Structure 1
Amino acid sequence: MIHSTDSFPGRTVNNNGKNHLYFGGTAYLGLPTLPGFCDILISNILKYGTGYAASRKANVRLSIYEEAETIMAGLIGSEAALSVSSGFLAGQLTLQSFSEEEYTFFHAPGTHPALIHPGGRPYATHGQLLQDVRDFAGSHPDKTPVVLCDSVTPEQNLYENHWYEQLPAEQTIFIADDSHGLGIMGNKGEGVYKRLEQIPFKELVVCGSMSKGFGIQAGAIFSSGAVIRRLWDNPVFAGASPASPAMLATFRDALPVYDIQRKKLQDNLKDFERYISGTDIFNGIKGHPAYSYKEESLTRYLLDKGIITTAFPYPDARSSLVQRIVISAYHTREDISKLCSAVRHFIN
């Protein structure tokens, strides 16, 4: 069911003239309408303008880009970072960096369209993927397998499922989209990079959106200095407009706000999980605010109770229905209590 609204969906969303609690979307830290965060962004827009209609490689260069990228790399744990205008571009630009004939691409189950290579091999199971990559690496010494995956999807979870440890690491390039982990997972929102770098991959790249966890319209790529320099030299990067400098300055200035909102989110998750303890209706990842479920009747039941959740086919109209309850830092303890009471009534 489509819900049209002309007001921003935050803690609540207006649907047909009635306010509903909103437990969907991906604004996990509740930043888009948070007054303190908006004040930081507005201040930076007044300083840097609304956007930057030029190439990063032009002869006039704003220092905020490199400053913010240095902070990003330090937080995530990579040697270097590169910002772009979106998470989707981050994935596509990364693929451009490994486009020569020497690379062969393997897509893990649930890989996001941002990391789909047209010549790649899709897999339904990790077991078959691992076997084929091992066989390929053993029989093609002149080629490099590139394994592509998401960090957080219903099909896979790099935070708890360590299937990647069984890859022939020193022969493999590993690329992960961590859009739903950046800013959320880890003690400081560092995401999955530090976990993955413990594996001696031939090359490691983590990319993704900065909007879901960090609240800025931008994408970013994290890797070695050599990979980031190769991306910087790519014509696609030179020809694409960069992320707004005001957004990157906001990332730099809002680091304390991220910590506060992450703590609020963690408290909300503890409340939610305490309330639903003993039920088996949801699938989730420890510490992550999205809880998937299969019962379409639950979506309708919650709507009748004044609660809207995520429910739509993704990534296209032919895909299966994605249904999730998403807890955010927007929510109050009363919101969580109302949601959980409705869920328990549904179950019973």
Structure 2
Amino acid sequence: MNNDFRSINQPFSNEIVINGESYLYFGGTAYLGIPQNQDFINLYIEGIKKFGLNNGTSRSNNIQLGIYADAEQVAAKRFLAEDALITSSGYLAAQLTVKGLAPFGEVIYAPATHPALWLSEEPFSTTSFTGWKRETIETINTSGLKNWVLISNSMNNLFPEIYDFSFLNEIDHDKKITLIIDDSHGIGINNNGLSALISFPQKSNIEVVVVASMAKALGVDAGLVLGSKKIISQLKNTNMFVGASPSAAAGLFAFIHGEQIYGNARRKLLSNMEMFSENLSSDWKFVPGFPAFLINDPKIDQYLLRNRVLISSFPYPTKNSDPINRIILSSWHQHEDIARLISLLD
């Protein structure tokens, strides 16, 4: 097949048509199917009519749209945080957070931390997350330094694993920890649709800050930071936040009014995952509740392609490596789509 899958000229959905051929699509990060959810699209259009296409003024301008503060209040309440900050992208949210908070202490990166969280070059790490936890406990507890900044993803979405941070309970109480967590793939999906913020130990010496792209499950081109009122206030006073243009108000309007839409989509996704996981062999690796399914079979993507099914497949960790082959489910999939996929895997 010579179809060009890098120049698709239509929206992603459960089905895409290329050169007149229809393919079922099981990839991407639109876990809740929001980009093709007509009710959410209607809210977005309503937001465009109300606020226009975009807003090129910074958040420091003397004339402001009130919806940005409103969306931050809604996000804080919805994801059980003291306060929230919204930027134009997840990358910007992560960068202003790590650059604003890294001076608080000695920085330690977890393995495979997303590039959006890097201060400069890729942090060096050769250990697993489990090994990193043991090393981190020993490093902090045996050091004379009191202030530390730990930076990590909330999960590994490629080799599905949700990280356990209960090890923080083993860190000495006299150590002050600022924990920055990227929850871009988990927010709205894991923790019953909330964020990773609720899954960390509640201790007086640990300050947790969650950053996330809202462009994945939440379907909005924006970035989010969740944390204490003190931390959010500090981040809002950084040059990076003050000088940047915000996200489109229309998307935030849809986010504010789309809580029921998100809930319905998540229930549909859970139903899809249940149907699919019940029919998988033990060769597949997945985390219950997260819609990524990994298999160690370098040829399965080509087999499915011959049967008009596209999945997530790319070489990792280098361009010469075998591909990581994953099936990604979304709320936009119908049960007949999943039944078709199951029949091919059988």
Please indicate, yes or no, whether the TM-score normalized by the shorter chain is above 0.5.
Answer: yes
Q: 3-state DSSP class of the match of 1:99? A: helix
CA contact (8 A) 1:85 1:243 kept: yes
Q: Which residue of the other structure, out of 195, 198, 205, is the alignment partner of 1:194?
A: 198
- Comparing 119-128 with 266-275, which one deviates more in the overlay? 119-128
Separation in 1 of the partners of 2:239 and 2:318?
A: 30
What CA distance in whole angstroms lies between the structure 1 residues aligned with 2:53 and 2:26? 30
Distance, in Å, in 1 between the alignment partners of 2:4 and 2:183 is 27
The answer (yes or no) to whether the contact 2:160–2:293 under 8 Å persists in 1 is: no
| AA partner of residue 248 (structure 2) | S
Structure 1 counterpart of 2:214, one-letter code: M
The structural deviation recorded for 1:135 is: 3.5
1:70 match: 73
- CA distance, structure 1, for counterparts of residue 9 and residue 298 of structure 2: 26
Q: 1:7-46 counterparts in 2 under 5 A?
A: 7-46=10-49
Q: Note the alpha carbon deviations across 1:210-265, whole angstroms, 9 max, x for none.
A: 11111111110001111101110000111111111111111001111111111111
Query: What TM-score comes out, normalization by structure 2 length?
Result: 0.91
Rounded Cα–Cα distance in structure 2 between residues aligned with 1:233 and 1:226: 11
Unpaired stretches in structure 2, ≥5 consecutive residues: none
User: 1:1-348 alignment to 2 at 5 Å?
Assistant: 3=5, 4-100=7-103, 103-118=105-120, 120-153=123-156, 154=158, 157-158=161-162, 162-168=166-172, 170-187=175-192, 189-198=193-202, 200-276=204-280, 279-313=281-315, 317=319, 321-344=323-346
Stretch moving more, 232-241 or 163-172: 163-172
Does structure 2 conserve the Cα–Cα contact (< 8 Å) formed by 1:290 and 1:326?
Answer: yes
After TM superposition, give the deviation of residue 143 of structure 1 in Å: 4.9
Show CA shifts across 1:313-332 (max 9, x none): 46874676332101111111
Q: Deviations over 1:37-76 (max 9, x none)?
A: 1110011011111111011111011111111111111111
Q: Which amino acid aligns with 1:88?
A: Y
Query: Does the 8 Å CA contact 1:137/1:144 hold for their aligned counterparts?
Result: no
Q: What letter is aligned with 2:296?
A: K
Give the match's secondary structure for 1:309.
strand
Contact 2:99 2:119 in 1 (8 A): no
Q: 2:201 & 2:11 partners in 1: Cα distance?
A: 38
Matched-pair contact (CA < 8 Å) for 2:166–2:200: no
Identity %: 31
Q: Is this contact kept in 1: 2:155–2:161, CA < 8 A?
A: yes
- Amino acid corresponding to residue 44 of structure 2 in structure 1: L
Contact 2:160 2:294 in 1 (8 A): no
| CA shift in 2, pair 1:183/1:314, >3 Å | farther
Per-residue deviation at 1:156? Answer: 7.0
Q: Are the structure 2 counterparts of residues 32 and 265 from structure 1 closer, same or farther at C-alpha, using a change threshold of 3 Å?
A: same
Q: 1:10, CA displacement in angstroms?
A: 0.5
CA distance in 2, matches of 1:47, 1:84: 20
Q: Alpha carbons of 1:182 and 1:57: their partners in 2 closer, same or farther (altered >3 Å)?
A: same
Query: Mean Cα displacement is larger for which, 63-72 or 190-199?
Result: 190-199
User: What secondary structure sits across from 1:251 in the alignment?
Assistant: helix
In 2, the alpha carbon distance for the partners of 1:193 and 1:312 equals 31
**Aligned residues, how many?**
340
TM-score by length of 1: 0.90
Q: Return the alpha-carbon distance in structure 2 between the equivalents of residues 318 and 95 of structure 1.
A: 32
* Letter of the 2:48 counterpart: I
AA of the residue aligned to 1:175: I
Distance (Å, rounded) in 2 between the aligned partners of 1:318 and 1:75? 43
